[in-house]
Amino acid sequence: MSASFSLQDLSPRAVVLFLLPYLPYVVVPVLVVSYVKTWYRLRHFHGPWVGSISYLWMAVVAVSGRMNLIYTEVNKKYGPLARIGPNVLITDDPEIVRYMSSARSSYTRSEWYEGVRIDPYVDNVLSEMDVTAHDKIRAKMAGAYAGKDNPNLEADIDEQVEAFVSLIRRKYISKGAILRPMDFGRKAQYLTLDVITKIAYGEEFGFIANDEDVHDYIKITEQTVPVIAFCTMIPWANSFLNKSWVRDLVGPGPDDKHGLGKLMGVAKKVVGERFGPDKKEKLDMLGAFVRSGLPQRRIESEVLLQIIAGSDTTATALRATLLYIITTPRIIGKLRAEMDAAEDVGALSNPITNAEAKELPYLQACIREGLRIHPPFTGLIMKRVPPAGDTINGQYVPGGTSIGHSTWGMERNEIFGKDAEVFRPERWIDADPETEAQMDRTVELIFGYGRWGCLGKSVAYVELNKFFVELLRRFDMELIDPKNPWKSANHNLFFQEDMWLRVTEREPRQSSNK
């Protein structure tokens, strides 16, 4: 009598034990086929080999704190269009960036932008994926950022710069052997936070007055931004965190006492004052948003973006540019000579006006060179190739491929000369008109381009135009530890602290006309 055998006669545990030895023969071929298919799609582009089959490499870069430097080296090694992910390329070519972001371009935003939805429940102008919706929102916000609805914009910035000068004189002036060190890494952000909150909401939050991290803003940002940077790089991570059940389970809320939710609560309170029967009406950015018809909840989301994008990036530009200026005697000497000469002929008010600053060529060269050599924002801001694909520099790029910007590498383009790694403002003074125009167009790319350009660019330039003159006309500044000028880490934005300075009053000078 013969016995028949069937897996149905076994318990589930016995079935698993029976099949387990055969599992590798199934799983390994499936994985190999999957990885080969992933690699094959962009096989003609070169880059780190792990990046061609997995997002693991990008994940490591995202948490390294050195992403700006790593991506720059990738393009140096593999060319202006290199592969860094299964479906991701990166470029340091300014022409490719302009091409993708031009007004008539058929390229769209990639999933990278979904990761910068700071308020996880509502889009902002940076995270908005729908091109038509983005353009409509941007049009409603443009007037506010241009200062059309805030006639006191420049005076408001002057007020905060003067408060910053007063803070230095009150607490951080050293004299002789008396050292009162100032961490300019932190103080610069106090200034830019008070500037953006003053011009946006009509009242500064008081970072300078309190000389502390009001609302724990900096602390919360330094906890949140690395997570955002990771999610912008890794599609599956962002997709997971954006699932409604995940947000309901662990998402922040405006009633939270800590973290991002706390900042959401601040935004809700500030915006809520502009709606309802007892609403406040002011000629500031927030008032302009309300008058343009933006919904209350959308404005709350834009407020969070304003505070982060409008303060962190400008603070980085202030720190980096000042660092290069004060550590190069030739440069600070020439800049002060230009300022003093302008003051002697009555071309420098107190405080300096934005218009006057634009007439100081060496100052403008220092500002542009600072933005070039240390771009404040290095996020990949990836664009998606149109469905039909595209040919770039003779190479076919399949539709749906994401192409990121290596901003740090782009600002070291050959157009800036063989000494592009050197902070040398004279390159702007000595360049012929055509070269200067090319350099200027490339530096402007740090603010984005075309329909994706930064709305706050003009405000940032006003701050930069005023800050260096107002500090350098009053103070001498030197690094306490030149060997370790600061602690700096890059996660799309820069976190910079421990930039300890010894600040002294500048010696009074006699005008050359006296």
Is the distance from CB of 286 to CB of 274 less than 8 angstroms?
yes
Rg (CA), the chain: 26
What secondary structure does DSSP assign to 282-343, as a single string? -SSHHHHHHHTT--HHHHHHHHHHHHHHHHHHHHHHHHHHHHHHHT-HHHHHHHHHHHHHHH
Q: What would the two tokens of residue 267 be?
A: 């935004």
Q: In angstroms, rounded to a whole number, what is the distance separating the alpha carbons of residues 257 and 272? A: 18
Q: In angstroms, rounded to a whole number, what is the distance separating the alpha carbons of residues 474 and 483? A: 26
Q: In angstroms, rounded to a whole number, what is the distance separating the alpha carbons of residues 441 and 92? A: 14
Q: In angstroms, rounded to a whole number, what is the distance separating the alpha carbons of residues 285 and 197? A: 10
DSSP-assigned beta bridge partners for residue 495: 489
Q: In angstroms, rounded to a whole number, what is the distance separating the alpha carbons of residues 277 and 264? A: 23
Taking the CA atoms of 182, 185, 186 and 189 in sequence, report the sign of the dihedral they define. Answer: positive
Instruction: For the chain, give percent helix, strand, coil, nearest 5.
Output: 55, 10, 35
What secondary structure does DSSP assign to 240-268, as a single string? HHTSHHHHHHH---TT-SSHHHHHHHHHH
Q: What are phi and psi of 207, to 5 degrees?
A: -65, -45
Q: Which residue has the tokens 């902002």?
A: 124
- DSSP class of residue 102? S
Q: Is 454 annotated as a binding residue?
A: yes
Q: In angstroms, rounded to a whole number, what is the distance separating the alpha carbons of residues 143 and 286? A: 11
Is the distance from CB of 386 to CB of 106 less than 8 angstroms?
yes
Q: What are phi and psi of 395, to 5 degrees?
A: -110, 130
Q: In angstroms, rounded to a whole number, what is the distance separating the alpha carbons of residues 441 and 431? A: 14
What secondary structure does DSSP assign to 183-243, as a single string? EHHHHHHHHHHHHHHHHHHSS---HHHHTS-GGGHHHHHHHHHHHHHHHHH-HHHHHHHTS
User: Which amino acid would we find at residue 54?
Assistant: S
Is the distance from CB of 168 to CB of 505 less than 8 angstroms?
no
Residues annotated in the binding site, as ranges? 454
Residues annotated in the binding site for heme, as ranges? 454
